Structure 1
């Protein structure tokens, strides 16, 4: 059989194809990069014990693996596996639908359409993913009491109520909307520059995805530090952090404790996580989208 012509495939493959490809891409992205994400979470937590304070990625990896075992770096992975599939299905389904409606698949620089599509996609996806993200981070912190996703969810709900799963949602949107608007816009522009012929090119998806992810991750790290504080507040021994109720309060605590430096906590692992994960996500998405609709 002849290999399908990537250029002949329609820009919008249909909602079911986009959602299925997005789900597979999301699971691939999060599962592969999960250990680095665990290190990022630990570095962002304002720990009271010096044992839980890490000077860098290498230091964190060595200490965690030697004192807790390598499995500790994968603790909570099932939370993102369970959440990432449906959330990314919603994300990419919304992304392609809005982009198509706004003319983002037409020739030329459609930065407004791609930005709005990215913002719309993340608003819908984060509403579904936020509780899973809270569970994941509760399981990632130093000396976490949880080993089961369902036990963690049940305990958090019993002790803190439903609000605990969504206290960080406004902050998550404050991160995700600019992150995805920046990421999708840069990705589309880099893809046009690197692959003007629009032929199927895995290297283009990797390079464009990595570049877009790096820029978006670096610019939104301060918000990510605040989000981590809100999502892990129930594990903190610091009364001020334990009772933090919103993004503004979190920013105030970060500023008082460490000043400007505090907003850069976890910058390196965040960028190092996001670059390959975004590259993998776009590569997987473009591959699965092409594969599914040409079977």
Structure 2
């Protein structure tokens, strides 16, 4: 290998907290920004709309109708909240992940419990990062909704705080954790296992990061979609004209509402755009993370 080439996997597994956090921040911003329009469509498909104009049958149908009636720019509403929140949240996420994985011995390839240790590190990272990201996610989804009155994340934040109180920013946090802890544990475990299978010699191989990241993201997104529907209901309840939804008390109440109104299929709302979002965005996130970490370490 030439001296100018970057050997990602030849680096120390624990490249340093600062490097991991900066790499995670840059990866998070890259991931969320690129796939934001599909995420907007996912949010709209999960909301129980009272107007036929807010009901979409698929990604193509949603993209066409939103572009025709509101303009393509509407698909990017709320991206400022993601950019502002994703950087710090992903910095905390990856920093915690690498620190915990190193602490518990997850970087030891000879460990018989490596998958369990990796899952523990991923779950710990999620608990920390979601505490920071949850308010930004609430603001993002309020701005993504059909006929949203908000064009500024700061105006949205002030309005939500004034009309619904601070609790509105964290009413979905228990649901978020219930969803993202298994999501992240599955994502990191699948990613590490596939990467190790594809690249057992730990040589320079960005293709392994892309493929492993994409598969891991798709699997994790698919199995956690029902909880994501409940999270969206809670985070957008303040804009609903439906009294029951507006006064939804928490995750179990949200799940009952979904079941009562839409049955089993209600838990699959937004499944396709969610998987479509997470597969490429997760692949891009891991590729960016490994690249930024290796570049800064170099």
Name the TM-score, length of structure 2 as normaliser. 0.97
CA RMSD, Structure 1 to Structure 2 (Å):
0.8
The one of 150, 154, 157 aligned to 1:153? 157
2:4 counterpart of 1:15 = no
More divergent stretch after superposition (36-45 vs 107-116): 107-116
Which residue does the alignment assign to 1:24? 26
Matches within 5 A, 1:67-82: 67-82=69-84
More divergent stretch after superposition (103-112 vs 146-155): 103-112
Report the CA distance between 1:107 and its aligned residue: 1.2
Distance 1:260 1:6, change over 3 A: closer
The one of 124, 129, 133 aligned to 2:128? 124
Report the CA distance between 1:200 and its aligned residue: 2.1
Q: For residues 289 and 119 of structure 1, what CA distance do their matches in structure 2 show?
A: 21
| Runs of 4 or more above 6 Å deviation | none
Q: For residues 53 and 208 of structure 1, what CA distance do their matches in structure 2 show?
A: 34
Do the aligned residues in 1 keep the contact of 2:11 with 2:294 (CA within 8 Å)?
Answer: yes
The one of 56, 59, 69 aligned to 2:58? 56
Matches within 5 A, 1:188-199: 188-199=192-203
Q: For residues 193 and 245 of structure 2, what CA distance do their matches in structure 1 show?
A: 41
Q: For residues 94 and 33 of structure 1, what CA distance do their matches in structure 2 show?
A: 24
Per the alignment, in what secondary structure is the counterpart of residue 224 of structure 2?
helix
Q: For residues 291 and 161 of structure 1, what CA distance do their matches in structure 2 show?
A: 43
Aligned length: 294
Which residue does the alignment assign to 2:186? 182
Q: For residues 169 and 212 of structure 2, what CA distance do their matches in structure 1 show?
A: 33
Per the alignment, in what secondary structure is the counterpart of residue 137 of structure 1?
helix
Which residue does the alignment assign to 2:42? 40
Report the CA distance between 1:7 and its aligned residue: 4.1
Q: For residues 19 and 157 of structure 2, what CA distance do their matches in structure 1 show?
A: 31
Report the CA distance between 1:245 and its aligned residue: 1.4
Specify every segment of 5 or more residues in structure 1 that has no aligned partner in the other structure, as ranges: none
Q: For residues 8 and 61 of structure 2, what CA distance do their matches in structure 1 show?
A: 44
Q: For residues 142 and 71 of structure 1, what CA distance do their matches in structure 2 show?
A: 13
Q: For residues 7 and 33 of structure 1, what CA distance do their matches in structure 2 show?
A: 27
Which residue does the alignment assign to 2:252? 248
Per the alignment, in what secondary structure is the counterpart of residue 264 of structure 1?
coil
Report the CA distance between 1:8 and its aligned residue: 3.2
2:201 counterpart of 1:202 = no
Name the TM-score, length of structure 1 as normaliser. 0.98
Q: For residues 18 and 4 of structure 1, what CA distance do their matches in structure 2 show?
A: 16
Do the aligned residues in 1 keep the contact of 2:86 with 2:133 (CA within 8 Å)?
Answer: yes
Q: Could you give the per-residue CA deviations for residues 149-172 of structure 1, whole angstroms, max 9, x where no partner exists?
A: 000000000000000000000000
